Amino acid sequence: MTEIARSRIFADAASRIRAVGPNVVALTGAGISVESGIPAFRGSQGLWDRFDPMEYATIEAFSANPEKVWGMFSGLLPLLLAAAPNPAHLGLSGLEGAGMLRSVVTQNVDGLHQAAGSRNVIEYHGSFRELVCLSCWKRYPMAVWSPGDAPPRCECREILKPDIVLFGEPIPWGAQATAEADAKSCGVLLVAGTSAQVFPACELPAIARLHGAVVIEINTEETPLTRTTTDLFLKGKAGEVMTKLVEAVR
Ligand code: OAD
Q: What pLDDT does 11 receive?
A: 96
Q: What DSSP state is assigned to residue 58? A: B
Give the residue, by CA position, lying nearest to ligand 1 atom 2.
41
Q: Is there an atom of ligand 1 within 6 Å of 76 CB?
A: no
Measure the CA–CA gap between 239 and 67, rounded to whole angstroms. 35
Handedness of CA 192, 194, 197, 198 (dihedral sign): negative
Residue that is last in its domain, among 110, 136, 164: 164
CATH number, domain with residue 244: 3.40.50.1220
Please state the rounded mean pLDDT for residues 145-162: 96
Say how far apart CA 143 and CA 24 lie, in whole Å: 34
In the sheet with 126-132, reading across from the earlier edge strand, the strands are 139-141, 126-132, 161-164
- Residue 25 confidence (pLDDT): 98
Domain that holds residue 25: 1-38+85-125+171-250
The CA 32 to ligand 1 mean position distance, Å, reads 8
In this structure, the number of other CB atoms found within 10 A of the CB of residue 155 comes to: 9
Per residue in 181-196, pLDDT (tens digit) is: 999 999 999 999 999 9
Same domain for 245 and 207? yes
User: How confident is the model at residue 3, as a pLDDT?
Assistant: 85
Number of Cβ atoms within 10 Å of the Cβ of 24? 27
pLDDT score of 1 more than 80: no
What was the pLDDT predicted at 2? Answer: 86
Answering whether pTM is above 0.95, one says yes
Of the residues 164, 182, 211, the one at which a domain ends: 164
pLDDT digits (tens, 9 = 90+) for 189-216: 999 999 999 999 999 999 999 999 999 9
**Residue burial 186-212, b: 16+ Cβ < 10 Å; e: rest:** bbbbbbbbbbbebeebbebbbbbbeee
Identify whether residues 44 and 117 lie together within a single domain.
Answer: no
pLDDT of residue 170: 97
52 and 111 within one domain:
no
Number of structural domains found in the chain: 2
Quote the CA–CA distance of 96 and 103 in Å, as a whole number. Answer: 8
Q: Are 143 and 160 in contact (CB under 8 A)?
A: no
Query: How far apart (Å, rounded) are the C-alpha atoms in residues 50 and 91?
Result: 31
Domain harbouring 133, CATH code: 3.30.1600.10
**91 and 201: one domain?**
yes
- In short, whether 193's Cβ falls inside 6 Å of ligand 1 is yes
pLDDT in tens, 36-91: 999 999 988 899 999 999 999 999 999 999 999 999 999 999 999 999 999 999 99
For 31, 41, 54, 130, 195, the CA distances from 51, given in Å and listed in that order, are 18, 9, 9, 23, 18
In this prediction, residue 6 carries a pLDDT of: 87
Closest ligand 1 atom to Cα of 88:
19
Whether residue 97 is found in the same domain as residue 131: no
Amino acid identity at 87 = P
Whose alpha carbon is nearest atom 36 of ligand 1? 41
Q: How far is the CA of 135 from the centre of ligand 1 (A)?
A: 31
Residue 64 and residue 116 in one domain: no
Atom of ligand 1 at shortest range from CA of 201:
29
Looking at the fold, whether 77 and 117 belong to one and the same domain comes out as no
Examine the domain organization and report whether 120 and 160 are in the same domain: no
pLDDT of residue 69: 97
Q: For residues 89 and 32, is the Cβ–Cβ distance under 8 A?
A: yes
Q: Are residues 186 and 245 in the same domain?
A: yes
Instruction: Answer whether residue 228 shows pLDDT above 80.
Output: yes
Residues 159 and 182 reside in one and the same domain: no
Active site residues: 125
User: Distance (Å, rounded) from C-alpha 60 to C-alpha 40?
Assistant: 23
Q: Do 114 and 186 lie in a common domain?
A: yes
Query: Is any atom of ligand 1 closer than 6 Å to the C-beta of 172?
Result: no
The DSSP result for 150-213, as a single string, is: PPPB-TTSPBPEEEEPPBTSPPPHHHHHHHHHHHHH-SEEEEES----STTGGGHHHHHHHTT-
Q: Is the predicted pLDDT of residue 233 greater than 90, yes or no?
A: yes
194 and 239 fall within a common domain: yes
Q: Per-residue pLDDT tens for 83-121?
A: 999 999 999 999 999 999 999 999 999 999 999 999 999
Ligand 1 atom index nearest CA of 221 = 11
